[in-house]
Structure 1
Amino acid sequence: MANARARRVSIANDPRARALLYQALLAAALIGLAVLAWRNAVANMQARGVPMGFGFWDETAGFDINQTLIPYSALSTYGRAFWVGLINTLLVGAVSIVLATPLGFAVGLARLAPNWLLSRLALVYVELTRNTPLLLQLFFWYNAVLKTLPSPRQSMSVAGVVFLNNRGLYLPRPIFYDGARLVGAALALAAALILALAIAARRRQAATGERSHDLWTALALIAGLPAVAYFTAGRPIGLEFAQLSGFNLRGGTEIHPEFAALVFGLVTYTAGFIAEIVRAGVMAVPRGQSEAAAALGLHRPLALRLVVVPQALRLITPPLTSQYLNIIKNSSLAVFVGYPDLVLVFAGTVLNQTHAAMQVMAVTMAVYLAISLVVSFALNLFDARNALKER
């Protein structure tokens, strides 16, 4: 009895013990609420006949998807539809990141250009894209730009091999025959040799200060080795061109207007934010660095590339990560222009047909979380690598 009273007095007088007790009580309350909510959701779902498991995953989907990178038909399963939507989402995200990064860097550096007209045009671009809703910009690209293009019979053509109309952009499609793997192997070998040259050149520059001039060697490797393999293997790669058939073009590689509108919108919108990040990062580099580069005889573009931007990159990378994550998350607006991404295919059509709301939404949220974590991890590694160099 005395020991119990002593323990109570000890807890009352020990702030750390009280804090632990309160946290334990709060955690127990939250767990209790979660269990209660789960039991209530299960009871309601069972009462309404909503499926509780993932048995629908292997059922026939029964609907078509107009853009797929993997084989799919209406006879495929809901699980196959999920993978189609996921791959389409990853495609949009990857293409948009690759295009938005150089555009944002170019506009950000243009904002700091001594040319008055160039800097003002960059300012107008940044203010216009940053201060209008992304959804409105998607509608602009889809309805005001792409849908106003001519019909397939009046397609705009480039040399008779590239066609553009309101149905999409048609590019030549490569056809691979026996021996094409030899060309691919030659291309991989050329890339490996170029990477080895770049590593050797960087080490030589770090040791001696001498810059490498291996550009022509790299170009000869990347063009020469695959060309030699191509002719040695008997030209195993051909091209299929789009041709007018009836009221539409057939053949070639078709880029749908929904995909183009989504990419254009994401790229132009995000590039405005990246431009401001780049401008702030460059301005944060001490002015003395630019003056020292000028004193060494480096002209402005070379000083930016070799002195200022590498230092600014350490400041640019952390906020740039947020913009890359925004691209992934904003791609879910594809539903408004009809692009079959993960949200439209899985969290839209599949959910409406199976009514498995809890499972579908949980999987969709987990996928976006996983993609965001992978992108964050990769950029954090890049940022840490730059930070180690700084030391």
Structure 2
Amino acid sequence: MRTKTATLAVGAALTMALAACGGDAEPQTTDESGIDFQGTLVIWTDEERAESLKPVVQEFADANGIEIEVQGIAENLQDQFVTASEQGEGPDILVQAHDWIGNLVQNGAIEPIPLTEEQQAAMNPDALRAVTYDGQIYGTPYAMENLALIRNTDLAPEAPATIEEMVATGNELKDAGDVEDVLSIEVGKDGNPYNAYPFYASAGGYLFGQDAEGNYDPADLGLAKPEAVDAFEKLAWLGEEGAMKTTMGPEHAIPMFAEGKTAFLVTGPWAMNQIREAGISYDITPIPSFEGGDPATPFIGTQTFFVASKGENKAFAQEFVADFITGADLATKLYESDPRPPVNIEAASAAAESDPDMAKFLAAGEGGYILPAIPEMQAVWEPFGRAHAAVISGDDVEAAVKGAADAIQEAIGA
């Protein structure tokens, strides 16, 4: 049976962050200290994240007289990293979401991070919990993220109270010729479990059950339960209404909203640079629930620096990730380059005071679920995505859900 003990008190974390402004404790993580390192520290990440990391990392490298190279990997980053690590040819550091931890640990690809109590105290505790696996910290989280509803306030002045109201408003605007689509939400031909999850959760679905301590139980697969069929019926309805469709890929969702072609966008803080540059009027609110349904709780993820277990410069990689990424200075610069709420409490408090959007994203994540980092989670994405794409395209719901559940259970040996 599932429990809801792993929900996040994101608002409480923000309150703690604001209160920390006047605190005396501050970890000794200065970027001005001398660094004795002669090699080239190699960092792998995805192509999009590489663009935001490069200027921040380069500034740090120049200030300290060292060489750091950020490489954006176009495809199959996790598989390439594991394979390269096995051959001793991988990077020193990997930057990616925390839910890869279980699989990377299982493959012996990353090292625990020896964070001091002082360094841990400077971080959002929920972010630390996200990167803790089998009692050890396996990465340094630097940013948190979750989905929210962003709406064009010129087109939709009031936040919708329910998903049904949002869809109705979107259809009315489309019928009037004011917009081209009901809702902007990235799906694509393979589906999108991450984006679908709040709607699935509101309709009564879940992925893995949890024990009293909040640990995910892979033997309790939500997709194998009758509630999953009911939840996917709701996703199918969104497809019928034109609110979710496989033709809405990553190249469409954010640009269409930024261009005023949709009134509503479900996305995360990574979209804010593009939306701000567009100059439209907008507001950020939690994703509404289905009428009479459960809360539309999003996943909570952390962007994380991992140390490769077989990296050429492992000693300095540990130092860089533990002593510098944890500091408020680099956390603030990373936030300014890519506005996702910082994990560092001091940086988060400063960002919350200057950027109301960040506080709104944190509020939208209130009650969200930490994205499972267990190895079995890697078996969920593709089958769930296929089922998502199938039902919003009109395929039989029960068959799609059963196919996904069977594929996942076979993969994890449940």
User: TM bucket by the smaller chain?
Assistant: under 0.3
Which has a greater percent of helix? 1
Question: TM-score with structure 1 length normalisation?
Answer: 0.21
Greater Rg over alpha carbons, structure? 1
Which has a greater percent of strand? 2
Question: TM-score with structure 2 length normalisation?
Answer: 0.20
